[in-house]
Amino acid sequence: MAESTHFGSRDVPLEDKQGMVDDVFHSVARRYDLMNDLMSLGLHRAWKDALVTAVNPPKSGPFALLDIAGGTGDIAFRVIDAGGAATRATVCDINTDMLDIGRARAAARGRGEVVSFIEANAEALPFADKRFDAATIAFGIRNVPRIEQALAEAYRVLKIGGRFLCLEFSAVDVPGLDRLYDFYSFNVIPRLGRVVAGDAESYRYLVESIRRFPNPQSFAAMLRTTGFARVSFQPLSGGIVALHSGWRL
- Please, where are the H alpha helices in the chain? 14-28, 32-39, 43-55, 74-82, 96-108, 147-157, 177-183, 189-197, 200-212, 216-226
Q: How would you class 25 by CB atoms within 10 Å of its CB: exposed for 0-12, middle for 13-18, buried for 19 or more?
A: buried
Q: Which residue lies nearer to ligand SAM by CB, 69 or 223?
A: 69
Residue of 57, 70, 190, 246 that binds ligand SAM (CB under 6 A): 70
Q: Are 152 and 226 in contact (CB under 8 A)?
A: yes
C-alpha to C-alpha distance for 120 and 123, rounded to whole angstroms: 8
Choices 64-72, 169-177, 219-227, 235-243 (CB under 6 A): range interacting with ligand SAM: 64-72
Q: Does 178 bind ligand SAM (CB under 6 A)?
A: no
For position 94 contacting ligand SAM by CB under 6 A, the verdict is yes
Q: Of all residues in this chain, which one has the CB nearest to ligand SAM in the complex?
A: 71
Q: Which is nearer to ligand SAM, 89 or 94 (CB)?
A: 94
Subset of residues 34 to 63 that bind ligand SAM, contact rule: CB under 6 A: none
Residue with Cβ nearer ligand SAM (25 or 233): 25
Measured CA to CA in angstroms, residue 111 lies from 74, 91, 107, 148, 172 at distances of 12, 12, 6, 32, 36
135 touches ligand SAM by CB under 6 A: no
- 143: contact with ligand SAM by CB under 6 A: yes
Chain-centre distance for alpha carbon 65: 14
Residues that bind ligand SAM (CB under 6 A): 18, 21, 25, 69-71, 74-75, 93-95, 98, 121-123, 138-140, 143-144
